[in-house]
Amino acid sequence: MVLPPPVYDPPFRITRASHVVLEVSDLDASQSFYADVLGLILTSRDETTLFFRGIEEACHHSLVLRRSDRQPACARIGMRVLSEQDLDRAEVFFSQDHCPTAWVEVPHQGRTLHITDPVGVPLELCAQMTAVPRMITEFQLHKGGCAQRIDHCQILTPEVRRARDFYMSAGFRLSEYIASADDEVLLGVFLQRKGNPHDIVFFDGAGPRLHHFAYFTPQVHHLLLACDMAGALGFGREVERGPGRHGPGHAMYVYFRDPDGHRVELFNTHYQVMDMENQAVRWDPTDHKLSFPWGLPAQRKWFEEATSFLGVEPRPSTRQSNPLTLEKFLTS
Ligand SMILES: [Fe+2]
């Protein structure tokens, strides 16, 4: 496969995946799940909104939960840029690609730019947030999964190739991808700005929809602590997949569904990928031994269910999906 070349001097500088804004139905249930099971720190709460951050994060929020009576949805994927000038350059860059942009006021964030990317994902860029203390050595406050920092989001889209090409033109590096050698099939792309395997991931599927967002946790045993806490607090059936080991990315993981069905991953063991000679790793979509080292595969719903973006109608994929599901595995 001929890949687009990396852009080492991007038109503007995104630094990392930064935050996710979700709509939820019950703030108390969401607070219990994210604070006690994942172990996020509640920065602030008002009548309509919860603001959470990971235990090492010195910014006001990496997860915003807004109460709503609508169908639970994802309002925005947040990314940080390095400087205020990068925001202005981002507006020019996205506008040139005919992506809608708007300047908005967002609590606890500096100047904020709303954008819809070329495959329909609603993004939110800012350079600054209200600073708050890191809780990484406040051990008395650590709970459950000890979620340390937000790491990435995974999006389903019928336009994986278009997403790859656009984000690479914006300076994202391709770390890994799932594709046939003849370039006929492109199932997934892992794109990064911060020097580990991914900030944003696109997989083939009806979309755009948010498949999951993910927090890094310091130790493997924190995955088990999160599961135990989920069981103890009545969220045991919401442990959807794992703990297990990914092929692509190599992470140890566990996936949960929150009280509104939004999917969140807790993981650790990533690696650095930033030097010029680092080549993107291709995974063969037909080789389950490589992409699935041990354990049980995910249920079909893990592959198919996802959170819609607010006001965005998903479009079907033209590709017939045929993943190795748990249901298929148990009857084979
Ligand atoms: Fe993930």
Closest residue by Cα to residue 250 from 292, 297, 199: 292
Query: Residue 216: exposed, middle, or buried by beta-carbon count in 10 A (0-12, 13-18, 19+)?
Result: buried
**pLDDT score for 290:** 62
Ligand 1 centre from 96 Cα, in Å?
30
Distance CA 167, CA 152 (A): 14
Query: DSSP states of 160-185 as a string?
Result: HHHHHHHHHHTTPEEEEEEE-TTSS-
The residue behind tokens 């890191």 is 134
Ligand 1 centre from 268 Cα, in Å?
10
pLDDT tens digits, the chain, 332 residues: what are they?
689 999 999 999 999 999 999 999 999 999 999 999 999 999 999 999 999 999 999 999 999 999 999 999 999 999 999 999 999 999 999 999 899 999 999 999 999 999 999 999 999 999 999 999 999 999 999 999 999 999 999 999 999 999 999 999 999 999 999 998 887 789 999 999 999 999 999 999 999 999 999 999 999 999 999 999 999 999 999 999 999 999 888 899 999 999 999 999 999 988 999 999 999 999 988 877 666 788 888 999 999 999 999 999 999 998 887 888 999 989 98
Ligand 1 centre from 265 Cα, in Å?
6
**pLDDT score for 289:** 64
Rounded to a whole number of angstroms, the distance between the first and last alpha carbons of the chain is 32
Ligand 1 centre from 255 Cα, in Å?
9
200-258 pLDDT per residue, tens: 999 999 999 999 999 999 999 999 999 999 999 999 999 999 999 998 888 999 999 99
**pLDDT score for 106:** 97
Nearest 10 degrees: Cα torsion 34, 122, 172, 53: -20
Reported in sequence order, the residue ranges of the chain that DSSP labels E, i.e. its strands, are: 14-24, 41-45, 49-53, 63-67, 74-81, 101-104, 112-116, 122-126, 149-157, 173-179, 186-192, 200-204, 209-216, 239-245, 252-257, 263-268, 281-283, 307-308
Ligand 1 centre from 212 Cα, in Å?
7
Ligand 1 centre from 148 Cα, in Å?
15
Ligand 1 centre from 147 Cα, in Å?
14
Distance CA 6, CA 234 (A): 46
Ligand 1 centre from 6 Cα, in Å?
22
256-288 pLDDT per residue, tens: 999 999 999 999 988 999 999 999 999 988 877
Ligand 1 centre from 94 Cα, in Å?
26
Give Cα 257 to chain centroid, integer Å: 14
Ligand 1 centre from 190 Cα, in Å?
10
Ligand 1 centre from 328 Cα, in Å?
23
Ligand 1 centre from 154 Cα, in Å?
6
Ligand 1 centre from 213 Cα, in Å?
7
Helix, strand, coil shares, percent, the chain, to 5: 20, 35, 45
Q: 129 is written with which tokens?
A: 């947030």
Q: What is the pTM assigned to this prediction?
A: 0.96
Ligand 1 centre from 140 Cα, in Å?
28
